[in-house]
């Protein structure tokens, strides 16, 4: 996966909204975990929908398997078994198609978009459960929607103890500015500089507005060049389709509104600009559908024809 002369790797899209779209049990605060509890066949179907759309990487449905979503009691009772089940469902779906890999999702275990809630002592035991119960069924780790350098560093250190590489995806502020910044206020440049390399073989930006990703790619590439590892670490993007978040946005407060203007065709056009800026991994986050992923897959096919 480290050959940068290759075509872009295509990730899947937003699991939660795809579950909702196909009629799976879906509500807050459980979000995508509810389908795993009540209708795991829907999770398998969602994975297949993205694979059929052209996804080459599917991500385990473990994002909501933390106390922030399912509560501490249920996590204590069923957390490990649910994580294992999610990993096995993804592995089973991937094995039905040639060349599909499984990314083991490691979420922000103490709350999305809330770097102020991060605490190493509280996060570490939760991550231990997520790592121990996925590692046998995945190809690599994908830390998603990470809001601070400190959380990324903990995940880097913990996954380094496994035999799997790690991709780390940061969520960045939706407000346009001169520098791309994480939700913590730290710059994307500093974040990439702090965590890229060694077992972290890709840095990505996710669950932010499509329009702010270009600057993040530029800053990430600048950091990798400065570190001398631009040929070793890939850059990826998978934006969401939410209306932009303000700084005081609270995750889990409700089901967020989706943009009507971010059609599959529009998303592809923006993704083309990401590739031009240096991205070699493309996908989608919340609200990005199999139709969007299919359009990215068509883009890749056209690139292949042009070679």
Chain segment 238-260, per-residue pLDDT in tens = 999 987 654 544 554 455 577 78
Assign residue 71 a region: left if phi > 0, alpha if psi is -120 to 50, beta otherwise? left
Q: What is the pLDDT of residue 2?
A: 38
Within a domain: residue 23?
A: yes
Q: Which residue has the higher pLDDT, 217 or 307?
A: 217
Q: What is the pLDDT of residue 16?
A: 95
Within a domain: residue 123?
A: yes
Length of the chain equals 307
Report whether pLDDT(87) > 70: yes
**What is the rounded average pLDDT for all residues in the chain?**
93
Distance CA 232, CA 1 (A): 10
Confidence of residue 175 (pLDDT cuts 50, 70, 90): confident
Within a domain: residue 1?
A: no
Within a domain: residue 291?
A: yes
Report whether pLDDT(176) > 90: no
Average pLDDT over residues 262-279: 97
Report whether pLDDT(268) > 90: yes
Average pLDDT over residues 23-35: 94
Within a domain: residue 97?
A: yes
Q: Read off the CATH number of the domain in which 175 is found.
A: 3.20.20.330
Average pLDDT over residues 103-121: 97
Q: What is the pLDDT of residue 258?
A: 76
Confidence of residue 177 (pLDDT cuts 50, 70, 90): confident
Range of the domain at 187: 9-247+255-306
Within a domain: residue 173?
A: yes
Confidence of residue 201 (pLDDT cuts 50, 70, 90): very high
Number of domains in the chain: 1
Of 1-5, 121-125, 287-291, the one with minimum mean pLDDT is: 1-5
Q: What is the pLDDT of residue 178?
A: 86
Average pLDDT over residues 163-187: 95
Average pLDDT over residues 46-60: 98
Within a domain: residue 3?
A: no
User: Residue holding tokens 């999610």?
Assistant: 86
Within a domain: residue 271?
A: yes
């Amino acid at each position: 996966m480290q050959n940068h002369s290759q075509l872009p790797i295509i990730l899947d899209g937003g699991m939660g909204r795809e579950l909702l779209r196909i009629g799976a049990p879906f509500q807050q605060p459980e979000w995508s975990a509810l389908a795993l509890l009540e209708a795991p066949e829907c999770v398998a179907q969602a994975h297949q929908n993205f694979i059929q759309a052209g996804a080459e990487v599917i991500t385990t449905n473990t994002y909501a398997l933390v106390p922030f979503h399912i509560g501490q009691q249920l996590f204590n009772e069923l957390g490990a078994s649910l994580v294992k089940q999610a990993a096995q469902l993804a592995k089973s779906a991937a094995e039905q198609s040639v060349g599909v890999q499984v990314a083991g999702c490691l979420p922000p275990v103490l709350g999305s978009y809330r770097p102020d809630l991060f605490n190493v002592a509280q996060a570490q035991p939760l991550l231990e459960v997520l790592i121990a119960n996925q590692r046998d069924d995945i190809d690599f780790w994908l830390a998603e929607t990470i809001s601070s350098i400190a959380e990324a560093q903990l995940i880097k250190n913990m996954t380094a103890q496994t035999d799997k590489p790690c991709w780390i995806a940061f969520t960045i502020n939706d407000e346009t500015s001169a520098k791309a910044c994480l939700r913590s206020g730290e710059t994307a440049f500093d974040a990439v500089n702090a965590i890229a390399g060694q077992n972290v073989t890709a840095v990505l930006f996710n669950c932010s507005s499509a329009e702010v990703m270009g600057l993040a790619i530029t800053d990430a590439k600048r950091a990798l060049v400065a570190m001398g590892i631009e040929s070793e670490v890939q850059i990826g993007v998978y934006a969401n389709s939410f209306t932009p978040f303000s700084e005081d946005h609270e995750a889990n407060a409700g089901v967020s509104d989706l943009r009507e203007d971010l059609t599959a065709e529009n998303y592809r056009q923006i993704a083309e600009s990401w590739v031009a800026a240096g991205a070699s991994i493309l996908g989608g986050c919340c609200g990005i559908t199999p139709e969007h992923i299919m359009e990215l897959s068509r883009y890749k096919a056209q690139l292949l024809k042009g070679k």
